[in-house]
Structures are given as structure tokens and as C-alpha cells.
Amino acid sequence: MAEALTEFFSGLGLSNEMVIFLVSVLPVIELRGGLIAAAILGVKWYVAFPICFVGNMLPIPFILLFIRKIFAWMKQVRWLKKWIEKLENKTRKKGARIQKGWLIGLIIFVGIPLPGTGGWTGALAADLFDIRFKHALPAITIGVALAGAIMLILTYFFPGLFGFVFQ
């Protein structure tokens, strides 16, 4: 998916830095995909990491502050209501680990780069489990940094693990 988005955004004539930023802002793909895009584009890791980190973190405060209102509004539309409730249930199920030791749980949930985890889902889970903004934002920030460090190592220093070598 990161490869296809990289091609798409590059095809628009955007700079490599803007491409990796945009990939990193997107839900599900986030910083993980941004770092893969950066490696594909040949962007040095020390340039890519801060761009991807900022891109991933940019929507998080807004999600933490406004997601309940947005979801309440979306639930007023019948076909969106089913989708939102499914998303909330899936997040509650995945985020159940967070409730036990919420701070460490949230950091690990966001920081281990697996499908269905990340800053967006962590912010949604924090809101669903009533973790206050002042606690959730630092935990998610640490988790995103951890995920970034893991992906940076895998993408730039062990690229063969993905089955192809980046430029």
C-alpha cells in the first residue's frame, strides 16, 4: 500500500519530503508507511524520520479532542452508523490490553508496528477508554517514536526483511 501511495503522490509532482509526509498522515499507514515510502524514494533516514514522525502526530491531538463529536455526528447517518460502531467495537477489542496498565499499554499498543495499531487507533482507544488528553498524548507520542524506531531499523538497516531492497 505504501508503494502505491508513493507512486500516486510522486506522480502529482510533489517533493519526496511532501510525499512521505502525506503518507505518514494517513490512517492505518501512518509513520510506518511513510518510512517505507522514504526508503523507496531514497530519502536519508535522518531526514525521513522527523518528517514521518510529525506527519503521524499531526492528527493525534485533533482525534483525541474531537473524535466523540465526529462519531456522534456520523452515527446520525444510517450507513455510517454501522461502520462507526464496527470501528468502535474493533478498537475496544484490540484496546482491551490498554486498560490493565493504561500508560504502558497505550505505549506498547501504538509502538509495536502491527496492522490495526498505531497513533490513530491509539488515540481512538484512549478516547473510548476515557484516558485524559494530558496522559494520552505523551503516551501516544512515545508509542509513535517507538514504532518509528522499529520501522527505521527494519526499513533502512534490514530492508531485505521486506522482500525487496530500497534504493
Other beta carbons within 10 angstroms of residue 18's beta carbon come to 15
Nine-digit cell string for 34: 511513510
- Tell me if 106 sits within 8 A of 125, measured CB to CB: yes
- Residue 159 C-alpha from the chain's centroid: 20
pTM: 0.85
Query: How many Å apart are CA 73 and CA 64, to the nearest integer?
Result: 16
CA nearest 36: which of 137, 121, 147, 112?
147
| Residue 66 to residues 5, 109, 124, 151, Cα–Cα distance (Å) | 27, 21, 10, 29
Q: What is the pLDDT along the chain (167 residues), one digit of tens a residue?
A: 778 888 999 899 999 999 999 999 999 899 999 999 999 999 999 999 999 999 999 999 999 999 889 989 999 998 899 988 988 888 777 666 666 677 888 999 999 988 888 999 999 989 888 889 999 999 999 999 999 999 999 999 887 775 555 54
CA nearest 59: which of 129, 130, 144?
144
List all residues 6 or more positions away from 116 whose beta carbon is below 8 Å from its beta carbon. Answer: 90, 94
Compute, in degrees rounded to 10, the torsion defined by CA atoms 62, 143, 121, 152: 100
The pLDDT, as a whole number, for residue 41 is: 95
